[in-house]
Amino acid sequence: MKKEGLPLTITTKLVEVFAFVAPKIIGGKNAPSPVGELGMVEMTQALDLIDVCYEQVGPDMLISGFLQPIPDLLPVIPSVDETFAIDPTVTPYESTIIFFYKTWDPYGAFSNFSPHAIQMPDDNGDYVTWSSVEHYYQAHKFIGVDDPLAQDCVEKIKLVRSPEEAARIGRLLQRKFPDLVRSDWDNIKIDVMYRALKCKFSIYPHLNSLLLSTAGSVLVEASPHDLFWGGGREGEGLNYLGRLLMQLRSEFLGESDSAIENNCIAL
């Protein structure tokens, strides 16, 4: 069944990158690097190049290519009717699209990899601190399963330092131990994500303000690989992360400043 898309066209410019690889070796934590200050310390943060060319220049190797752009999209995420139902502030056919993906982008705080800890109640009503929304989400694949191995999976995910590592470990454990994943995961994962996002955007005023500043715009996680939470490479994704953020935005806009309902406590 084909879904009706928003008739918006987004264009991007290609950025060409040149890098020389010299036959020299230098080491140590203070060794120079051309991209050392960009904060890309995990492989999941790596920027992809397309149309890569190699050329030997004297003893060095010149590598050139173009940064993989967010492709021109004719969004199918979500349909006009779904968008308006999620957030009435969005005007079909007239709204702009705000993309987010990398945490250092202008709206990178919308990513689940943003370094914002949350505190959420466990099954006993005690509040537990999670280093990021991604930590919370990945661990909940195994929470509630009556098996010591499942509890070990939760602790492994909870204790890793970065959201990228939490995502990697969570997906790895899900593939390795499919029987340990809670049987209702596919039915509850959207609600798990919703609760974590609501906590995150409730306890950090600057994040709440950033989300509200996008009122009237369609929010799209520009992940080219995740076709459930993201928008996909050509707008074929379901963009459920963007949908949940628009839903929360609508709820926050409809609430008074003195009565913001949430299920978490301030850090």
What pLDDT, in 10s, does the model give residues 34-43?
A: 655 454 555 6
Enclosing H/E stretch for 174: helix 163-176
106 vs 16, residue with greater confidence? 106
Q: Is the pLDDT of residue 221 over 80?
A: yes
Rounded CA gap, 222 and 113, in Å?
Answer: 13
Q: Are strands 49-57 and 60-67 parallel, antiparallel or unpaired?
A: antiparallel
Nearest-10 crossing angle of helices 185-203, 240-253: 50
Is 1-11+69-267 a domain of CATH 1.10.357.40?
yes
Contacts of 174 (CB under 8 A, 6+ apart): 141, 181
152 vs 10, residue with greater confidence? 152
**Selection from 189, 199, 205 nearest residue 241 by Cα:** 189
- From residue 136, alpha-carbon distances to 111, 117, 140, 156, 204 in Å are 14, 10, 6, 12, 17
pTM beyond 0.75: the answer is no
What per-residue string of b and e applies to 226-250 under the rule 16 or more CB within 10 Å gives b? Answer: bbebbbbbebebbbbbbbbbbbbbb
Two tokens at 196? 């974590």
pLDDT at residue 63, rounded to an integer: 83
Domain spans in the chain, listed from the N-terminal domain onward: 1-11+69-267, 16-67
Two tokens at 162? 């970065």
Half-sphere exposure of 129 (CA within 13 A, CB side): 8
Q: Is the pLDDT of residue 108 over 70?
A: yes
